Copies of this chain bind each other. A is one copy, B any other.
Amino acid sequence: MLAVDRDSGDFLYRQVIDLINDNIESGTLRPGDRLPSLRRMSDKIGVSIPTVRQAYIELERQRRVESRPQSGFYVRAVRTNELVRPAPRFRAASKPACIGCRTLMERVYDGLYSPDIVPLGIANPCMASPAAKGLHRAMKRIMARVEERAISYAPTQGEPRLRRQIAYRYLDTVGSTVDPNEICITNGGQEALLLALQAVADKGDVIAVESPTYHGLLELIDSLGMLAIEVETCPEEGVMLDSLARTLEAHPVKACMFSTTLSNPLGVTMSEEKRAEVVRLIEDHDVVLIEDDVYGDLLFDGNRPKPAEFYSRRGNVLTCGSFSKTAAPGYRIGWLLTGNYGSEIERLKRSYSCSSGLLQQLTLSEFLATGDYDRYLKTLRPVLQQNAERMRALVAEHFPEVTRTSQPVGGSVLWLELPKCVDSEVLFDNAIEAGISIAPGHIFAPRKRYTNFVRLSFGHPWSDAIESSIAWLGAEVSRLSR
């Protein structure tokens, strides 16, 4: 196990990861075994301690190992029926396409807001343990403090206090400086995506997306009369650089829309180098990256990576953030780091929706400034992590053995590959009949694909109804795969 190749061109810490993975795969390291200490490993293979630490932390993120306080890193125990990892690489279509599943998408949305439906089809992490009380308190303070101003128009670009808080937060969490004047407040992350896309691309243009990708993004591309082309991904690293490079060579791509942290539905977080490489590649091709970073605060370990925007040298990256996944979905407050496109984005924002809600902006800036937001995230993440564990355990128990799942390290969704013969549209229809909403794989790609995949959300307060719904789904999948 103990060899690295300094001439291979691969990062050293990735070689360390590969070494350990090989040893786990071969059975040399078994579940429950302790990894060599950082110092010992460093001495043995001749790389620095920080490099070993980086490898161990990455392995922990991949859930191959776990750290135990005061003790070290251990190979994770495999549960009975633990699900194998998803397919190593999601292959992509090679031509731009319109969206083929409008009707199914609409049916998925139709069921979401009925109180009688168990809502496993919507990604809504913060409702697993809502911050309503704290937000209500903050809002009442604001109403008392600013009185009449609370109902008036916010500036188009957004309330300056909130923009400053968002900038502070970048400094605080990733150590990067953002100019509050380069932030535009939007109606949730969705409007941030809209404004970014409209600022850089036009009807008929080709937009590169991950495969699979967030369905709301596909619907947006479709609404604007643009075409989506898929870039291959893998569940460990996200966007595959070779596939991205090929796509940029072969097609007149105007922009890439990638989720850098906790991609939806895969749940992948791009490493820091991956971000740098993606940005270099898109800037070399004079393409814009629209970065969907709405889940950044929801990594279970709380270590948010730098947005890709900070690796940009030319201002070609537009980063979309939001409080909808992390605090208050119904406030409809997101933001956009506007890169080179500040004045164009402000003009679009004004003509599309004038400005965003002032009271919610003031309330969120209060919620951030008091530290309540951070304290809230610290209570939310363990709830999500526990929900994720419970859901995976139940899937392992009730679904056919060949089912593969993602290994969530944050966020609120689990991505499942069902037996090949199962059509998840049929599963969706039957589930809705049974009072359960799910997100069928079809809606996560422009062409018919992922037809035997399904996304389940664990972003709800855990309940018996959820447990029995998962059991029901498992039984139904078994029935459909017979």
Interface residues in chain A, defined as those with a beta carbon under 8 Å from any beta carbon in chain B: 102, 106, 109, 112-113, 122, 124, 127, 130-132, 135-136, 139-140, 143, 147-148, 150-156, 187-188, 190-191, 194, 198, 202-203, 216, 219-220, 222-223, 225, 324, 327-332, 343, 347-348, 350-360
Contact = CB atoms under 8 A, between A and B. Distances in A.
A352 to B, nearest CB: 5
Given A356-B332, A357-B330, A351 B220 contact: yes
Contacts of A222: 351
Contacts of A143: 132, 136, 139-140
Nearest to A140: B140
Contact of A132 (B151, B332, B348): B151
Contacts of A329: 151-153
Nearest to A332: B357
Given A106-B347, A132-B148, A343-B106, A330 B223 contact: no
Contacts of A188: 353-354
Given A194-B352, A352-B352, 13 more contacts: A106-B343, A109-B156, A139-B143, A150-B330, A188-B354, A190-B353, A191-B353, A219-B347, A219-B351, A220-B351, A222-B351, A331-B357, A331-B359
A354 B102 contact: no
Nearest to A155: B113
A131 B151 CA distance: 8
A354 B217 CA distance: 11
Contacts of A127: 148, 152
Contacts of A220: 351-352
A191 B350 CA distance: 10
Q: Residue among A127, A152, A222 with the most chain B CB within 10 A?
A: A152
B156 A348 contact: no
A404 B372 CA distance: 56
A136 B122 CA distance: 31
13 contacts: A109-B350, A124-B152, A127-B152, A131-B151, A132-B148, A132-B150, A139-B143, A152-B329, A190-B352, A191-B353, A216-B351, A223-B352, A330-B359
A157 to B, nearest CB: 9
A392 to B, nearest CB: 25
Copies of this chain present:
2
B351 A190 contact: yes
A13 to B, nearest CB: 39
Contact of A357 (B106, B109, B360): B360
Nearest to A189: B354
Contact of A187 (B112, B223, B332): B332
Nearest to A136: B143
A119 to B, nearest CB: 10
A361 to B, nearest CB: 9
Contacts of A358: 330
A277 to B, nearest CB: 30
Nearest to A157: B113
Contacts of A136: 143, 150
Contacts of A198: 223
A284 to B, nearest CB: 29
Contacts of A352: 190-191, 194, 220, 223, 352
A359 B198 CA distance: 29
Nearest to A344: B223
B191 A331 contact: no
A373 to B, nearest CB: 13
Contacts of A356: 187, 332
Nearest to A330: B358
B102 A130 contact: no
A200 B220 CA distance: 17
Given A155-B113, A330-B154, A223 B347 contact: yes
A323 to B, nearest CB: 10
A327 B153 CA distance: 11
Q: Which of A151, A152, A219, A222 has the most CB of B within 10 A?
A: A151
